[in-house]
Amino acid sequence: MPRVYLGLGSNVEAKRNLQLGIRELRERYGALDMSAVYENAAVGFEGADFLNMVVGLQSDDAPRDIQCTAELIHELAGRDRDSDRFSSRPLDIDMLLYDDRVIDEPRLKIPRCDILDYSFVLRPLAELAPGLVHPVTGKTMQQHWQAFDAVTHPLRAVEDIL
């Protein structure tokens, strides 16, 4: 069964919306592996700090079906898809990896480029799956995290969120 990694983030009622996202993902996919939750400043705009995490799950659902499920959960959280890319949001669920597949289709890019660009994606992914090999670079998530300039995007682990 394919292994899927999703990034979750929120900066609007963040604790409540992350909890909603986790609850809905569990209802649909069962057991989840979860990273710690990290707080970081908004990137690309002025706004409240974000809470971010990564979850791992197993599913036979196709990548597009998982993406559709994420959109349904976004709607439950009240996300407005017409807002700017860099803006506050109640919930953002991004598919980071789907097994070792590389997909480059309109509106579906796997692995997601954010993995290597932002500490709030790479650190929790490396924590959750340090030995996982990036399907394009051939390096593990731990190797990528060790080489990452974490000073550019500082994070703070947050306790007792979920």
- Whether residue 136 is predicted with pLDDT greater than 90 in this model: the reply is yes
Arithmetic mean of pLDDT, 117-133? 96
Give the residue numbers spanning the domain of 32: 3-158
39 pLDDT higher than 70: yes
Per-position b or e across 47-80, b if 16+ CB within 10 A of its CB: eeebbbbbbbbebebebeebbebbeebbeebebe
Cα distances from 30 to residues 24, 27, 139, 153, in angstroms, run 10, 6, 29, 32
Q: In the numeric block, which tokens belong to residue 105?
A: 């289709």
> What is the mean pLDDT of the segment spanning 79-108?
82
Whether residue 87 has pLDDT greater than 70:
no
- Answer whether residue 86 shows pLDDT above 60: no
Q: What is the mean pLDDT of residues 36-51?
A: 88
Q: Please report which confidence band the pLDDT of residue 70 belongs to, taking 50, 70 and 90 as the band edges.
A: very high
Tell me the pLDDT of the chain averaged across its residues. Answer: 91
CATH number, domain containing residue 65: 3.30.70.560
Q: Are 96 and 112 within 8 A, CB to CB?
A: yes
Q: How many domains does the chain have?
A: 1
Does 130 have pLDDT greater than 70? yes
- Structure tokens given for 41: 């400043």
| Residue that is written with structure tokens 């971010």 in the block | 52
